[in-house]
Amino acid sequence: MFSHGADSAHDAGGVGVSSATVPARFVWPYGGKRVFVSGSFTRWSEHLQMSPVEGCPTVFQAICSLSPGMHQYKFFVDGEWRHDERQPTISGEYGIVNTVYLTREINSVLSPSTPGTRMDVDNENFQRTVTLSDGNIQDGTPRVSEAAIQISRCRVSEYLSLHTGYDLLPDSGKVIALDINLPVKQSFHILHEQGIPVAPLWDSFRGQFVGLLSPLDFILILKELETHGSNLTEEQLETHTISAWKEAKRQTYGRHDGQWRPHQPLVHATPYESLRDIALKILQNGISTVPVIYSSSSDGSFPQLLHLASLSGILKCICRYFKNSTGNLPILNQPVCTIPLGSWVPKIGDPNSHPLAMLRPHASLSSALNMLVQAGVSSIPIVDENDSLLDTYSRSDITALAKDKVYTHVRLEEMTIHQALQLGQDANTPFGFFNGQRCQMCLRSDPLLKVMERLSNPGVRRVFIVEAGSKRVEGIISLSDIFKFLLSL
């Protein structure tokens, strides 16, 4: 396809070069059987064969020693010329081609002692992107390379596929389950007193675990009472069972396209399932917790509740495994602002962006609950008039209303978020706290590993990215954001 060209430096647009060379890595992360790279540095005549990265058969790489300056290149994949749409491109004599600009300051991509097929990619996680304007080279903002992302995803997926639910089981601990015939009121008192946000539900008649009781249930109950007025006496509140509430909830919220949804079986996992499958169950069902249940019978009778699996527990396994070998996960040491991850405050003038959901401390508790339900989020940042982070209100904070039976006489429209948060200050619960802090904060320049370690702590489901000094909220990264990114969902 390509003919011989002039000197590579002049082919690339006349950028001068010296006799010194620097190593450059070319990566094709989109799979194939046989992949080559060719460019101005080979005069478009020679095709350099690329090798699969160890452990990532869909990622191909090649190392070349090139002169500093601008170079053009394309990939020859299974007999077809391709370019990487995610890398800088220009249109020229050979169609659309990728470009790379090398300087002497770029360190060697490959250390002298590292074999080409086994090297790490830490030194190339940032790449300098360039554009051409009137023949001048303009540097863009560094970002994590697509190759680093693909290699990291491949290795995380491999780790999660090789480990099972047994890796999540603690050496010791307790798991609390609630009988479906318990009164709802008593159940939420138990959640509050035990400091747990979620509990599996046990049906003693069927001999099965049949569901979960979560803070969302309590929120919906309070909203129903607020909207329709409480027609239940104090005695009826004491006797209204979990089973009765779940059926009423299905009748109220269980329609889909005008049809009643059938009773859904409990989403659960076995200890033999891979961590990857467990994470996918949590993400695909939009839940925070999956009970890990074991039964020695083929029909599932006599189930044993072993653990409540969550994304934070799985993330802790990932952090523990890769922390001392970050070279195997190139993106771990990179600033979170360079990674396509999380939700960020939109740039001025961006028509396709959506503002972050935030509230002031004097907003009503009702507005916070509406936002939690309608936006489908688990937490809302509470900010001052400058959008500086003050606190956070989470779904699990609703159980604080069980303290001293506050929920029996409170009006959601009249209670402020600040007042609601004060109720939980003395609550005996570790959830929502880490090193004495309710709000987990990081800077946009902090490495991904730091954010992941914060999120791997029990009860922490999101990290707020704030501006240094002012604590102005710049973004939010949640557990589900991390896993959707790592699993390429």
Which residue range forms the structural domain that includes residue 372? 329-486
Instruction: Quote the pLDDT of residue 441.
Output: 92
Closest CA to 154 of 52, 281, 272, 286: 52
Partners of 90 in the beta sheet?
Answer: 97
Unique residue bearing structure tokens 């009781």? 213
Residue 353 pLDDT > 90: no
Instruction: Quote the pLDDT of residue 290.
Output: 94
- Burial class of 302 by CB neighbour count within 10 A (0 to 12, 13 to 18, 19+): exposed
Residue type, 294: Y
Cβ(216)–Cβ(207) below 8 Å: no
68 and 107, same domain (yes or no): yes
Tens digit of each residue's pLDDT (9 = 90 or more) over 402-444: 776 777 777 888 889 998 888 876 544 443 343 346 788 999 9
Residue 344 pLDDT > 50: yes
345 and 369, same domain (yes or no): yes
Instruction: Quote the pLDDT of residue 460.
Output: 87
Tens digit of each residue's pLDDT (9 = 90 or more) over 201-249: 999 998 999 999 988 888 888 877 776 655 555 565 677 888 888 887 7
Instruction: Quote the pLDDT of residue 433.
Output: 41
Residue 253 pLDDT > 80: no
Interatomic CA distance for residues 255 and 246, integer angstroms: 14
Domain boundary among 281, 313, 345: 313
336 and 205, same domain (yes or no): no
pLDDT band of residue 185 (cuts 50, 70, 90) is confident
97 and 191, same domain (yes or no): no
Interatomic CA distance for residues 31 and 9, integer angstroms: 30
49 and 133, same domain (yes or no): yes
Please give the share of the chain, as a percent, with pLDDT higher than 70. 78
Domain boundary among 280, 313, 346: 313
Closest CA to 268 of 182, 183, 177, 194: 177
In a domain, residue 147? The reply is no
Cα distances from 39 to residues 4, 46, 65, 68, in angstroms, run 10, 8, 13, 15
74 and 100, same domain (yes or no): yes
Question: Does residue 10 or residue 22 have the better pLDDT?
Answer: 22
269 and 205, same domain (yes or no): yes
Instruction: Quote the pLDDT of residue 236.
Output: 59
In a domain, residue 3? The reply is no
72 Cβ partners below 8 Å, 6+ apart?
11, 12, 39, 40, 90, 92, 94, 97, 98, 99
Residue 479 pLDDT > 70: yes
pLDDT band of residue 111 (cuts 50, 70, 90) is very low
Domain boundary among 313, 341, 367: 313
222 and 347, same domain (yes or no): no
Most confident of 88-92, 114-118, 349-353, 354-358: 354-358
Question: Does residue 229 or residue 269 have the better pLDDT?
Answer: 269
Q: What is the mean pLDDT of residues 113-134?
A: 35
Unique residue bearing structure tokens 């802090």? 437
340 and 303, same domain (yes or no): no
pLDDT band of residue 473 (cuts 50, 70, 90) is very high
Q: Using a CB cutoff of 8 Å and minimum separation of 24, what contacts does 248-257 make?
A: 249/217, 249/220, 252/224, 253/220
Q: Residue 376 is part of a domain; what is its CATH number?
A: 3.10.580.10
Residue 77 pLDDT > 80: yes
Total count of domains within the chain: 3
Cβ(466)–Cβ(473) below 8 Å: yes
Instruction: Quote the pLDDT of residue 246.
Output: 82
In a domain, residue 160? The reply is no
Instruction: Quote the pLDDT of residue 368.
Output: 92
Tens digit of each residue's pLDDT (9 = 90 or more) over 137-160: 333 445 677 888 888 898 999 999
51 Cβ partners below 8 Å, 6+ apart?
60, 61, 62, 116, 117
444 and 420, same domain (yes or no): yes
Q: What share of the chain is helix, strand, coil (3-state, %, to 5)?
A: 30, 25, 40
Q: What is the mean pLDDT of residues 109-135?
A: 34
Tens digit of each residue's pLDDT (9 = 90 or more) over 323-343: 887 777 888 888 998 899 998
pLDDT band of residue 381 (cuts 50, 70, 90) is very high
Average pLDDT for the chain? 79
Instruction: Quote the pLDDT of residue 5.
Output: 38
The sign one gets for the Cα dihedral 472, 444, 85, 99 is: positive
Choose the weakest-confidence range: 94-98, 235-239, 333-337, 468-472. Answer: 235-239
